[in-house]
Structure 1
Amino acid sequence: MNDKQQKASAYWKENVRYLFILLGIWFAVSYGAGILFKEALDSIQIGGFKLGFWFAQQGSIYVFVILIFVYVRLMNKLDKKYGYDE
C-alpha cells in the first residue's frame, strides 16, 4: 500500500468513527430520551409540555440539526489534517 492509499484509508476510518459516534448520540437522545426515559423526564415541564414529550417531538430534531453542524466542523478539521481541503 502506498502512502496515498494509507492516508485515504486513515481518513475514511476516522470519518466512519465520527459518523458512528454522532449517530450513537442521536440514537441515545431520540430513543433514550423520547422512549426509554420518557416517564422519568415527564416529571419536568418546558413551556407547559412534559419533557419526555418534548424530546420525542422536538428535542431529537434539534439535536440532529446540532449534530449536523458538529459533523461539518469535524469534517473540515479532518480534511485539513489529511490535506483534502481546497
Structure 2
Amino acid sequence: MAFENQDMAKRYWSENLKIMGVLLAVWFAVSYGFGILLVEPLNQISLGGFKLGFWFAQQGSIYTFVALIFIYVVKMNQLDKKYKVEE
C-alpha cells in the first residue's frame, strides 16, 4: 500500500481508527452492557424460550462480533477505494 503523501496516510489511518473505535464501542455495549449491566431488565423479555439477558451473555455478543467483522471488511474496502489503495 503506497500513499501519495504523508498527509493522505494520516487521514487514512485516522478514518481507520474511527471505524475501529465505533465498532469496538458497539461490541462493548452489546457484550458488557447487554450481557452484564442490563441483564436483569433484559431477562424480562424472552427470545426462543430463553431470557434475553442470558441470550446476550451467551450468544448475542458472539453473533454481534461476527457481524462486526463483516461490517469492518465492507467499511475498509470502501476506505481503500476512497484512498485508491485497494488490492
| TM-score using structure 1 length | 0.94
Q: Where does 1:27-38 land on structure 2 (aligned, <5 Å)?
A: 27-38=28-39
Deviant stretches of 4+, over 2 Å = none
Larger RCO (alpha carbons 8 Å, 6+ apart): 2
* Alpha-carbon offset, residue 48 of structure 1: 1.2
- RMSD over aligned Cα atoms: 0.8
Aligned residues with identical type, % of pairs: 62
- Alignment partner, residue 22 of structure 2: 21
- Alignment partner, residue 44 of structure 1: 45
Give the letter for the 1:68 counterpart. I
Higher share in helix: 1
Give the letter for the 2:26 counterpart. I
User: In 2, distance between residues paired with 1:60 and 1:4?
Assistant: 39
Q: Where does 1:63-78 land on structure 2 (aligned, <5 Å)?
A: 63-78=64-79
**Unaligned 5+ residue runs, structure 2?**
none
User: In 2, distance between residues paired with 1:23 and 1:48?
Assistant: 29
User: In 2, distance between residues paired with 1:69 and 1:49?
Assistant: 27
User: In 2, distance between residues paired with 1:60 and 1:23?
Assistant: 12
- Alignment partner, residue 84 of structure 1: 85
The alignment of Structure 1 onto Structure 2 pairs a total of residues equal to: 84
